[in-house]
Structure 1
Amino acid sequence: MGSRVRTAVRILTVGGCVCVFWAARGGPRWTHAVARATLAAGHVTTALLGPGRSGSRNGSTSDDGKSD
């Protein structure tokens, strides 16, 4: 059961990313709605992970090589 859920989440994630890409290039109206939902879900997920769990924000370096 767990692998089916993971597979479904991955399919929805990839589909959402495709819609974001397509909507940015002027796709059909429905892709804009799916893109908004995908981006909102990404923001919610990032907020739920909290500081230090979102990946690239902590410990990143600026272009000059100095830490933030």
Structure 2
Amino acid sequence: MLVFVLVGVLVLVVGGCVCVVWAARGGPRWVRGVALATQAAGELVRLSGRRGRRPGSDRLGSDSDA
């Protein structure tokens, strides 16, 4: 069951990326809407990952770079 969920998420991600590229080349209105939603979701994921970090944890020479 978990495999089907992961495959579904992968299909949505790949489809969203295709829509972003297609919209950049002047696709139809619905493609631009999907591309906008994909970019907004990506931005939310990026911001949520940044919010969970401690200040200074991404400095050079930290233990996580090993």
Name the TM-score class by shorter chain: 0.7 to 0.9
For 2:39 and 2:7, locate their aligned partners in 1 and report how far apart those are by CA, in whole Å: 20
Question: How does 1:1-68 map onto structure 2 within 5 Å?
Answer: 1-50=1-50, 58=58
Calculate the TM-score normalised by the size of structure 1.
0.72
Q: What stretches of structure 1 move > 2 A for 4+ residues in a row?
A: none
Greater Rg over alpha carbons, structure: 2
Structure with higher RCO (Cα < 8 A, 6+ apart):
2
Instruction: Name the count of aligned residue pairs.
Output: 56
Identity of aligned residues (%): 52
Calculate the TM-score normalised by the size of structure 2.
0.74
Gaps (5+ residues) in structure 2?
A: 61-66
Gaps (5+ residues) in structure 1?
A: 61-68
